[in-house]
Amino acid sequence: MRFVVKAFQSNVPEIAGNVQTVKHQGDYDEFIRKAAEDKRLVLVDFYANWCPPCKKLAPGYAKLSEEFLEPLFLKVDVDQSKDVSKSCGIKCMPTVLAYSDGKVVEKLEGATLNKIQDVITNLPTTPSGIRLFMQHDDEDTDWAAFRVSPAYIPGKKTN
């Protein structure tokens, strides 16, 4: 087993690594407000159960929520939460909105995992520029959380 633990950020909320379901506008607004206070990136997947591209995206979106600890991952069913999808101007699915400081900074219509990962790795999510990742050692089932500098983000080019 080979893990290198750089540092563990103790203020990671218990919901980190999970996708939260939003059903009401008030809850949505509260998630966005609280994340802005905490300087967290928010990703919101607007989907429908009958939508084939949404079904294809769902497992990968959940996996990203386990790999990237710091962003808050939300899901909104457009058929059950029409008020939320209407207030956000959702016209197609899947659409993923990215919020930073309480404002939409990216709107990915026809979202793909690559586009979502690009948003996560290219938008600043903390004042320090440090992001949290999960790393799994393929030889066993242990997980380790650690912080890395943006210069070491997988797939991100540095100057």
What is the reported pTM? 0.70
- What b-and-e string marks burial along 17-44, b requiring 16 or more CB atoms within 10 Å of the CB? bebeebeebebbeebbeebeeeebbbbb
Confirm whether 51 is a catalytic residue: yes
> Catalytic residue at 92?
no
Catalytic residue among 12, 51, 105, 148: 51
Domains of the chain: 19-152 (3.40.30.10)
Instruction: Out of 54, 72, 76, 119, pick the active-site residue.
Output: 54
Per residue in 41-98, pLDDT (tens digit) is 999 999 999 999 999 999 999 999 999 888 999 999 999 999 999 999 999 999 999 9
